[in-house]
Amino acid sequence: MNHNELSHLRPKLESALELLTLELSPQQVDLLMEYLLLLQKWNKVYNLTAIRDPEEMLTKHLIDSLAVVPHIDSESIIDVGTGGGLPGIPLAICFPERRIDLLDSNSKKTRFLIQAKAQLGLNNTQVWHKRVEEYQPEPLYDAVISRAFASLEDMLTWTHHLIPEGGVWWAMKAQKETEDLAGLPEYAEVTRIIELQVPGLDAQRRLIQAQKKAD
């Protein structure tokens, strides 16, 4: 797959990857472009995201998700409330050797994810159509990531059964959401707050890393 109808956006993606110092193969860039096309096509029917314009999707969804890639060092990750696969599918493309699973309770969204997984050949990802509190993974994941949760506290509370002691949460946040880091559950400790620069996006983003302590 070299050419798709959004290929005019490829240079913008490539320059963003350069700014993020992400070295991907041409095949990986192909897959990211193919994913963008799938997202745009299915969005017309399935309403995966409120953003309709492909160029805006590229910046606000794809590049926004890729901005966290240099910081994520966990080997097995579940993207909870992944929606249309963000950031999980970009992570799965960037880390073919890691396990990156996707969970969402919306059946339209998981139908899209299953199709995307098949079409992009992502053998390192499983799609789970479940409510997060009902999912009991074996083995547990090294980390949970999400860019959709309303609050960090809710994310920690609803997902702490998915990771072991020492496991990590990665919460993607818009800068304007000021998080109350004081009111977090006692089994979680914020270990890093990473300020992100998303190429092409005139807004602050941050990645909050928290670690699970002994209950």
Q: What is the pLDDT of residues 131-146, one digit of tens each?
A: 999 999 999 999 999 9
How many angstroms separate the Cα of 136 from the Cα of each of 1, 16, 84, 96, 167?
37, 37, 22, 24, 15
Half-sphere exposure (Cβ direction) of 39: Cα atoms closer than 13 Å: 29
**pLDDT, mean over the chain:** 94
> pTM of the entire structure?
0.95
Q: What is the pLDDT of residues 66-99, one digit of tens each?
A: 999 999 999 999 999 999 999 999 999 999 999 9
- Residue 87: is the preceding peptide bond cis (ω within 30°)? yes
Query: Band of the pLDDT at 215, cuts 50, 70, 90?
Result: low
Taking phi over 0 as left and psi of -120 to 50 as alpha, with beta for the rest, 195 belongs to beta
In the predicted structure, residue 151 carries a pLDDT above the cut 60: yes
- Given a contact cutoff of 8 angstroms between Cβ atoms, the answer to whether 160 and 212 are in contact is yes
In the predicted structure, residue 2 carries a pLDDT above the cut 60: no
Quote the pLDDT of residue 203. 87
